[in-house]
Structure 1
Amino acid sequence: MARRGKKAKGRPISGWVILDKPKGMGSTDCVSKLKWLYFAQKCGHAGTLDPLATGLLPIAFGDATKTVPYVMDGRKTYRFTVRWGVQTTTDDTEGEAVGTSDLRPNADEIRDLLPNYTGEIEQVPPSFSAIKIGGERAYDLARSGEAPEIESRIVTVHSLGLVEMPDADSAVFEAECGKGTYVRAIARDLGRDLGCFGHITELRRTTVGAFTEEDMVPLDELIDVADENREELDEEAIESGAKARILDFGPLDEYIIAPEAALSELYEVMLNDDQAGRVLAGNSVLLRGRDAPAFCDEAFATGHGRLIALGAIDQGSFHPKRVFGGKG
């Protein structure tokens, strides 16, 4: 007798919620919280934020999880505060001091060094990072007392500017950088080069790929909306351990952004119903119109009011590479 496949638990929703991650909460904890709030079948995030960091954390549901790499490869913008005079083991406030100095830099000394930290630069990630060494995370090795040897890597910093100096002990910066860049390492290295040491005390991400601060929603707001739409339980149900269900997901779903929002830098192929049907079946379609490109390495197709496929354009035809068949 053939075994039936296990039915996926949750709602088959697709799209993005751009969370304003609160301080002290891990990225995976945020994913778990939103998956529970939305009762979603599938959920993930695009780009980890340290627990001490706040700001933009893109959360993907359903088909949007297939577009996560396009978000992670996008540029990211951070605003961060560096405290001079102390270097820590974690390059932030959680670690122990490993170097101190009474020297304090002025604005001109800081600005003179910033060009050294833009463009393609060589950077050693922090010891307390998610880098894998011999199959283990660097932060796990560091917490066990080992001193992981992390090789330097080339990363791209598109811009780095001094925003303000609230006092002699600290400075606020804004950086736009590419994938794999550690802002904590920038603070560490800048402090060393200035001869005064330094570590990050505040870190906030403001953009990731196509998503900006305008897209963000606080976690507390989502929780409040969910609670407003939960069923009311009587005392007997509460005493029995029953959990109130969300009766109407509509208000929560209004915060969901379409999956294709992550693909704004790619060429969009808009399909009619017949073409959409062909692409959903895995077939290529000939593009018509004088503005249609003959060749394009990466493109996405929309039809039936949603994202249909990722693919490429070759000799005037769209060839699907990954079809999106989910609902929502």
Structure 2
Amino acid sequence: MANGILVIDKPAGWTSMDVCAKLRGVFHEKRVGHGGTLDPMATGVLPIFIGRATRAVEFTEKYDKEYIAELKLGVITNTQDITGEVLEVRPVQASRERLEEVLEQFRGDIMQLPPMYSAIKINGKKLYELARKGREVERPARPVTIKALELLDQQGEDLYTIRVRCTKGTYIRTLCHDIGQALGCGGCMSSLRRTETAGFTLEPDCLDGAYTMDQVLAAEHPEELLLPVDYAFRDLPALVIQGRPVVLARNGAPFPAKAPQGCRNTWHDGGLCRIYDGPRNEFLAVGRYVGQEIKIVKSFFEV
């Protein structure tokens, strides 16, 4: 039975659910989920959670994401990326220096209007379903934080490569569209590659580096590519228990505990921790320290 995390370098043309569907067959496991949707045109880091590890997906939302995107100036589309219907083509007169100036207004905390071609629901309807019917509805702008926005390269007068580090819920194609609007010539996203999400990267030489689908499909023992479930919580302090607390934890009940030695700075009331069954050397659960006891937040051992 497969349990673990597989970091995929998603190919263009695949949906995130396409990847999950393919891996259900590879691992003969129905429980397969992903940690953050990528549009079909996008490539890059897509963490896949398999088996009991699917219970960890909800914990991936707090992490920042990083992207390398191409900004195509002078072209406005209905989807805000190059795959959409071209609505308008404008001449590009903005210089690189002017673009650098405009980028400054998009750094930090900003309000972003979600695109119509998105899965956000308004009155129970997904926006993209309405957009495909030619409808546009009012939707509220949402706060997002652009923690880094860097101009990396320029190809010609209208194509730029940018690096974006942002909080969850940020639409990079909307960012490209809005930058184009601020320049007065319009713009759209012409390519997108996610380089980091949920703490996972593309680096091939790292433990949490990504595999291509070809590598996974060619692997004789694909289960050997999986990271352990607790790797998703590697930044949390670890608590090893034994005796009566193990019995309580396995039944989802709170148990008394003190801060592990060496974890005083990261161990605080309301904080999360990893819980291990010491005698079995088994990852049991994620818990929350409340008062002088640990309350189980989510269990990960096979029942």
Q: What TM-score do you get using the length of structure 2 for normalisation?
A: 0.90
Aligned to 1:236: none
Larger Rg: 1
Is the 1:279–1:285 contact (alpha carbons within 8 Å) kept by the matching residues of 2? no
Which residue in 1 is equivalent to 2:269? 295
Q: For the residues of structure 1 that align with 2:274 and 2:261, how far apart are their CA atoms?
A: 19
Residue among 183, 186, 193 paired with 1:204 = 193
Instruction: Write the deviation string for residues 2-35 of structure 1: whole angstroms up to 9, x where unpaired.
Output: xxxxxxxxx3x22111111100111111110111
Map 1:8-157 to 2 at 5 A. 11=1, 13-157=2-146
CA distance in 1, matches of 2:260, 2:132: 59
> Does 2:276 correspond to 1:307?
no
Aligned counterparts of 1:173 and 1:307: Cα–Cα separation in 2 = 40
Preserved CA contact (<8 Å) 2:35 2:198: no
Given residue 257 of structure 2, which amino acid in structure 1 is its aligned partner?
L
The answer for the alignment partner of 1:322 in structure 2 is 298
The answer to whether the Cα contact below 8 Å between 1:280 and 1:324 also exists between their aligned partners in 2 is no
- Alignment partners' CA distance in 2, 1:266 and 1:297: 9
CA distance in 1, matches of 2:157, 2:188: 14
C-alpha separation in 2, matches of 1:149 and 1:289: 51
> In the alignment, which residue of structure 1 is the partner of 2:217?
223
Q: CA deviation at 1:311?
A: 1.6
Shift of 1:88: 0.3
TM-fit CA distance, 1:286: 2.1
Change (3 A) 1:53 1:316: same
Asked whether the 8 Å contact 2:53–2:300 carries over to 1, the reply is: no
Structure 1 unaligned residues grouped into runs of 5+? 1-10, 230-250
Bigger CA drift: 255-264 or 316-325?
A: 316-325
Deviation at 1:64, TM superposition (A): 1.6
* C-alpha separation in 2, matches of 1:108 and 1:183: 21
Alpha-carbon separation, structure 1, partners of 2:240 and 2:195: 31
3-state SS in 1 of match to 2:71: strand
1:129-278 aligned at under 5 Å gives the runs 129-214=118-203, 215-225=209-219, 229=220, 251-272=221-242, 275-278=245-248
Shift of 1:192: 0.5
Give the drift of 1:290. 4.3
Identity of aligned residues (%): 29
> Cα distance 1:264–1:89, how it changes in 2: closer, same or farther (>3 A)?
same
On the 8 A contact 2:110/2:143 being kept in 1, the answer is yes
Task: List runs of 5+ in structure 2 lacking aligned partners.
Answer: 204-208
Q: TM-score, normalising length from structure 1? A: 0.84
Alignment coverage as a number of residue pairs: 292
Deviation for aligned residue 1:288 = 6.2
Cα deviation 1:152-195 (Å, max 9, x = unaligned): 11111111110111221200000011111000000000000011
The amino acid across from 1:319 in the alignment is K
Contact 1:14–1:326 (8 Å) recurs in 2: no
